[in-house]
Structures are given as structure tokens and as C-alpha cells.
Amino acid sequence: DAGVTQSPTHLIKTRGQHVTLRCSPISGHKSVSWYQQVLGQGPQFIFQYYEKEERGRGNFPDRFSARQFPNYSSELNVNALLLGDSALYLCASSFRSGTPEAFFGQGTRLTVV
């Protein structure tokens, strides 16, 4: 069975550009969460979506947005990229919104130059 898949695996963007990251959850899972992991730190919660609705938002600026599609896949969008947005962006899949366990994809490594 396929786990959580994220695309692309790596990308390089210039300051001020926009980026879209994609995530497909484990089959049957309906909740997707996004995390940002800066080098040397633990992941930081950005968003949770369940049944296409936002269920939680972390302390990130409005430049960060996300959505979930009817097939439960999700996109994370970041506008007006800053150097500080360089990080590993992780998508986590859970069966439902309140399910304790979260299973992570391999992440997208974003470098802003």
C-alpha cells in the first residue's frame, strides 16, 4: 500500500516567488496536516484539513494557505517567498481529524535563494 506521497521532492525558488506543494494521503485517510521543519528543529504545525475544511492553523503568516480536494489530497501554497521559508515541508495523513496517529510523507525540501 502506498504511504503519504509528496511532490516535488526538492525545489529551488527565488525570493518573492510563489510555490505550490502537493500531498496525497494514505488511501482511506481523510485528514491532512502540513508541517514546516527548519534544519535542526522539530516540525512546526501549519495547517490541518479534514473533509475539505480547515480544522486548525498554526502561527504562520497569511502568505501560507492550503486546501484539500474531494479526493482528500492537499496543496500548500506559499506566496511572496522569503529566505526564511527555506525548510522541509512535511505532509501528515490521519484517518480522521481526531485520530491520534499521524503518518508523514518524505517531505518537500524548499530552498529560497
Partner 1 sequence: GQQLNQSPQSMFIQEGEDVSMNCTSSSIFNTWLWYKQDPGEGPVLLIALYKAGELTSNGRLTAQFGITRKDSFLNISASIPSDVGIYFCAGRPSNTGKLIFGQGTTLQVKP
**Binding interface with partner 1 (CB under 8 A):** 4, 31, 33, 35, 41-45, 48, 50, 55-56, 58-59, 90, 92, 94, 97-98, 100-107, 109
Using alpha carbons, list the distances in angstroms from residue 102 to 22, 34, 85, 89.
17, 11, 23, 15
Closer residue to partner 1 (CB): 27 or 54: 54
Rounded to whole angstroms, the Cα distance separating 59 from 24 reads 24
Q: CB count, 10 Å around CB of 23?
A: 27
> Is 18 or 63 the residue whose CB approaches partner 1 more closely?
63
How near is the Cβ of 75 to partner 1 at its closest, in Å? 18
